[in-house]
Structure 1
Amino acid sequence: MKKGTVFIENDSYFPTEQQVMLNFQVHNLNETMKHLEQISVLLAKKKEISEFGKFILNEVPEGRLVELWEK
């Protein structure tokens, strides 16, 4: 079983009142971002690149944040 990541309560990476964040792994983050922009999905932050991969936070209609990750 894979374990989740724990954020501290006031972490700036996850700036919201929601208690959990969904994270989906995608094959190509740039293509996924283009598709989401075409269907008017809001991007909550700019793409971030780290040693763990590429990440982007999207805001779904209910106002929740969903993270997309390209490994």
Structure 2
Amino acid sequence: MADRDPDTIKAEIDEARDQLALTVDSLASRANPRRLADDLKAGVVRFVKRPPVAITLAGVGVLVLVVTVRRARR
């Protein structure tokens, strides 16, 4: 093994530590439950706002309303 300057070794260790800290921070941010829930909610809202989905949900709502009213009259 070649002799290495202690200052160079220390600088490499510091650089590796900083890189590891950035990686850990990035992973913590991605795994944040609040962020995951917000992303899921935004995705569902985007999906539901699509015209075919919105029309289908409105139709299902009307069907449920009609069935409920008919049962209530009996």
TM-score scaled by structure 1? 0.18
Higher Cα Rg: structure 1 or 2? Answer: 2
TM-score scaled by structure 2? 0.17
More strand by share: 1
More helix by share: 2
Higher relative contact order, chain-length normalized (CA < 8 Å, sep 6+): 1
